Structure 1
Amino acid sequence: MADEDRVRADSRAGGEQSDMPASHRWRAVNAGQTRSTLRRIARARQRRRWAVEGLAVLACLAALGTYLATRSGPEPGDDLAGRSGVPAGATRPSGFPAAEGRTGDVGPATPGLRPRQRPPSPDPTPSASAPAAPPPSTAPTLSVSRAEAPGEIDLTAVGSRDWMHWGLHGGTSSVRKRGGSGEIVDGGGKGARVGWDGNQELVSWRDGTPERSESDSSNGVYTCGAGNGFSLAIAGSGEPRTVQVYAGTWMARGRLDAWLSTGGPVSKVRLEDPYTSQSAQFTIRFQLPKGARLLLSWTVEKAFTPHCGNVGLQAVAVR
């Protein structure tokens, strides 16, 4: 039955083709082949276009991936991840410049800062501050030394705070610095004071009272006999002070004792000449609080002649 249907179909097709002119049959056959070829060519061209477009897309994707990888990587000079706690590939926040002299990022960006402006430094912690310098010492101090007396003594120059001179008009006369501090106190002493104008040292001043000025005075005072001498005191002011004592001996041993009213040991300095006179400049440096005093005693420790072995005193200056 199926074979018979196929025979009838073929015969109809053959009959229809046999009725068509030969030129028409050739055009029909050729047209069918041309359309088929064109479809194949079009499909091939479309496949090639898709391939080219696909390659272009892949190239774009590859370029985009390279660009993104470059942007997300660490910038030149940045430390590796882990030094500052910033993960690898993270970028520095916008507007946060790196601190000069440091490596890596130093913290998050601070809002409101202009470009290249650094955030303010934190206040130092109390533990990092340097310890305060201790206040200057006000503990009492004392030192005594002896040197040869100068040939000329300018009391105005060496006694910037105070000075005092004895013997200008006899054993009981004295001259003080006009407008001085009054730190020198004459405490008297044992033995009678006698004026003397034959000292080798010449004393001058320009700011005295009651004698305003004097030039090249050789005057002074002295007292004879062992145990006799002069007592002086210098008031403390809380500041370091220097005292100059201009004194001498004649055929005797003199001893200068210096001590502080606040207590402590006594400093002793001696000057001796058994045959003639001897002069010296004693320098005393001390520091005492107000109300305390430096105490001085210049006495005959030993006389080498019964004819008035003595100690003499010309002047005292404080600066």
Structure 2
Amino acid sequence: MAEEPAAPTGARSPSTRGTRRRGSARHRSYLRPEQPSGSPATSRAARRSARAGRRRRYAMEALAAFAGLLALVAFVGWWSEPARQEPPQPGGLPAVVGRPSLPGPVPTALAVPGLRPRERPPSPSPSAGPPSPAPVAVPTTLTVSQADIPDTVHLTETGRRDWMHWGLGGAGGTVRKRDGTGELRDLGGRGDRSGWDGNQELFRWRDGAPVKSVEATAEGVYVCGTGNGFQLAVAADGQPRTATVYLGVWMARGRLDLRSSDGGPSRTVRLEERHTSRSAQVTIRFQAPEGTRLLLSWTVEETFTPHCGNVGLQAVALR
């Protein structure tokens, strides 16, 4: 067998060259100095990383706080929103501010989770108030008495509510209480009235109209003939009242009929004198419902002379 020629001394085989290069590389890596774990570069990197983490955490917390603040501001604005003012009502009435109203069928805003929607109190129902008590029915009462007329009658004292006098200055002269109640009414009557000044009694007053005061007068009026006479009325107010009528006859019989306009009790009084004149005061105590009237009819029932038998009237007073 022939021997292989020996490789030249200066020549290198490929495997040998690669092995050396790798060994050189390994040798160089072994020679690179390694930095210890506690070196300043490593500490700075750790601090930078920690600061970056804290900044991210702070940013997230700030973002969450800002979002919560926005939600709080929106909630407060929604809660304190003023109620809508309604337009003026017909008839010139002012609009009611903040009037409670019932919720509509469709919600106008989304409900916030965890929050109760604003509640409005229900509209108060109108109240008619307690029923007024029923008026008490006033029974009609009527009593009559007759007496002689005093020598002098002071109409201001006896007619504290109202009074009337006839005949001052003639048949058409009528004086009544100034600022009186007006409850006494002269309704006229049948026959022609005449004036005379021969009454046995005197009348006086100090609060009259159109004549303010008179110290003493004997005047009055009269009507002749059967069936003729006077018609008077006294307005009732539901309270007990007293009316006094001053009247007379001359050679006749007079009839005074009293009745209430509501169909209540009635009374009749007669005064008679066949040969001369006679006078009397008739006191009437009555009570009747408000709005009714006491009606008085003073007429000649019978005469005893062909020369104008009559009934006379001087005054009436109410208290």
- Which amino acid counterpart does residue 186 of structure 2 have in structure 1? D
CA apart distance, 1:137 = 7.0
> Residues 43-70 of structure 1: CA distance to partner in whole angstroms, max 9, x if unpaired?
xxxxxxxxxxxxxxxxxxxxxxxxxxxx
Structure 1 counterpart of 2:163: 163
- Which amino acid counterpart does residue 228 of structure 2 have in structure 1? N
Distance in 1, matches of 2:262 and 2:139, equals 10
- Which amino acid counterpart does residue 179 of structure 1 have in structure 2? D
**Contact map agreement 2:300 2:310 (CA 8 A) in 1:** yes
- Which amino acid counterpart does residue 186 of structure 1 have in structure 2? D
Distance in 2, matches of 1:317 and 1:136, equals 28
Structure 1 counterpart of 2:154: 154
Structure 1 counterpart of 2:266: 266
Distance in 2, matches of 1:143 and 1:225, equals 29
Structure 2 counterpart of 1:181: 181
Percent of residue pairs bearing the same amino acid type: 63
> Residues 59-106 of structure 1: CA distance to partner in whole angstroms, max 9, x if unpaired?
xxxxxxxxxxxxxxxxxxxxxxxxxxxxxxxxxxxxxxxxxxxxxxxx
Structure 1 counterpart of 2:317: 317
Distance in 2, matches of 1:244 and 1:279, equals 13
Q: Across the two proteins, how many residue pairs are aligned to each other?
A: 185
Partner of 2:254, secondary structure, is strand
Structure 2 counterpart of 1:67: none
Mapping of 1:189-208 within 5 angstroms? Answer: 189-208=189-208
CA apart distance, 1:264 = 2.9
Distance in 1, matches of 2:271 and 2:260, equals 22
- 1:211 to 2:211 alignment: yes
Structure 1 counterpart of 2:248: 248
- Which amino acid counterpart does residue 231 of structure 1 have in structure 2? Q
Distance in 2, matches of 1:250 and 1:186, equals 22
Structure with greater proportional helix content: 1
Partner of 1:187, secondary structure, is strand
Which deviates further from its counterpart, 136-145 or 254-263? 136-145
Moved over 3 A (4+): none
Name the Cα RMSD after superposition: 1.3
Structure 1 counterpart of 2:140: 140
Mapping of 1:1-319 within 5 angstroms? Answer: 138-319=138-319
CA apart distance, 1:237 = 0.9
- Which amino acid counterpart does residue 316 of structure 1 have in structure 2? V
Structure 1, gaps ≥5 residues long: 1-134
Distance in 2, matches of 1:175 and 1:300, equals 24
- Which amino acid counterpart does residue 156 of structure 2 have in structure 1? T
CA apart distance, 1:146 = 0.8
**Contact map agreement 2:141 2:265 (CA 8 A) in 1:** no
CA apart distance, 1:172 = 1.3
Partner of 2:188, secondary structure, is coil
> Residues 156-206 of structure 1: CA distance to partner in whole angstroms, max 9, x if unpaired?
000000000000021111001000000000000001000011101100000
Distance in 2, matches of 1:241 and 1:265, equals 15
TM-score in terms of structure 2 length: 0.57
> Residues 245-264 of structure 1: CA distance to partner in whole angstroms, max 9, x if unpaired?
00000000001100000103
**Contact map agreement 2:140 2:264 (CA 8 A) in 1:** no
Partner of 1:275, secondary structure, is strand
Partner of 1:156, secondary structure, is helix
Distance in 2, matches of 1:175 and 1:158, equals 15
CA apart distance, 1:136 = 8.3
Distance in 2, matches of 1:253 and 1:286, equals 25
Structure 2, gaps ≥5 residues long: 1-134
- Which amino acid counterpart does residue 261 of structure 1 have in structure 2? S
Distance in 1, matches of 2:194 and 2:292, equals 31
Distance in 2, matches of 1:269 and 1:137, equals 28
> Residues 99-144 of structure 1: CA distance to partner in whole angstroms, max 9, x if unpaired?
xxxxxxxxxxxxxxxxxxxxxxxxxxxxxxxxxxxx9872111111
